[in-house]
Amino acid sequence: MINEQQQHGEVKSIVIVGTGLMGTGIAQVAVEAGVRVTMIGRSAEKCTGALHKIQTGVQKSMKRRHPAGAEAQQAAVDTAMAILDFKTDVFDADLSHADVVIEAVVENLKVKQKLFADLEPAVGDHCLLVTNTSSFLLEDVSDKMKRRGVFGGLHFFNPVPAMKLVEVIRGEGTTDAAYDALCRFCERIGKTPVKCKDSPGFVVNRLLIPYLADAMRMEEAGIAEVKDIDTAMRLGTGHPMGPFELMDYIGLDTMKFIMDGWHQRYPEDHRYTPCKSLDGLVADSKMGRKTGQGFYAYGAGGQQPAARK
């Protein structure tokens, strides 16, 4: 069993559970940094799709790193892809020798809790167990765990290869040794870690979600239109996207999921009160860019304010 004074060595091998956008992005930056990765997908088809995404991402990355040498590019791609493996069952992975296991599955609390409860007895004492949750408290995710000293959060941002930030979340029981090891791992894969205690939304989303909700309430009150609010925030504050553009990019279903969850847990906090405009769009299956319409319509003519009821 790990004690508070034990130091974790260099992370050489990780297991990532989940082959979605976050999982594949984390895998890409890890293999590029020389960290061996085993990805766990729900099916062979999911694994094949993840393999193609990672390979395409690595190829683009190596073209930037070696712009003048096709041979150097291919050699770097081959080196990175050689340390990537896939399994369709997490218990087929070499869990006993993994330095870190990162959960990047669907944002469903019961699914995450069961996964960590199942993983805990299968990994080595030195292994760090990590969640990539963006909306749940670590204390809730680890509710069924016994070894909370080696549990922490690494909140990566989408798209992982391009976004430099990782929020390193410390649970109530996370040891100093485990926490320091997670920060070092982030630096190893080229990310900038910021430290945060376990709290709703951590740093970024705790500030971001109320801001996005206020933008919706402003539009609902008739103070300003969607396009004008976005223009004001882009040109007035230097934001690369206005709040409505950003919500469409994130996915309105994701935005609603986070707000609904926080409102249920903290009903007295008006910042998380549901917004009618968001609820209406999600009910109409208008989720943003991924469905072609949200607060904006996306088509051949580019991004245009969407007609709304």
Residues with catalytic roles: 134, 155, 167, 205
Per the CB < 8 A criterion, the answer to whether 17 and 150 are in contact is no
Provide long-range contacts, Cβ within 8 A and 24+ apart, for 157-162.
Answer: 157/204, 158/21, 158/22, 158/25, 159/21, 159/25, 160/21, 160/22, 160/25, 160/26, 160/28, 160/29, 161/25, 161/28, 161/29, 161/57, 161/61
Per the CB < 8 A criterion, the answer to whether 144 and 114 are in contact is yes
Q: Report CA dihedral (48, 54, 57, 59) to the nearest 10 degrees.
A: -80
Per the CB < 8 A criterion, the answer to whether 128 and 7 are in contact is no
Q: Rounded to 5 degrees, what angle do the CA atoms 300, 249, 115 make?
A: 135
DSSP 8-state assignment for residue 288: B
How far is 42 from 7, CA to CA, in rounded Å? 34
How far is 45 from 4, CA to CA, in rounded Å? 42
Bridge-based pairing state of the strands 100-103 and 192-197: unpaired
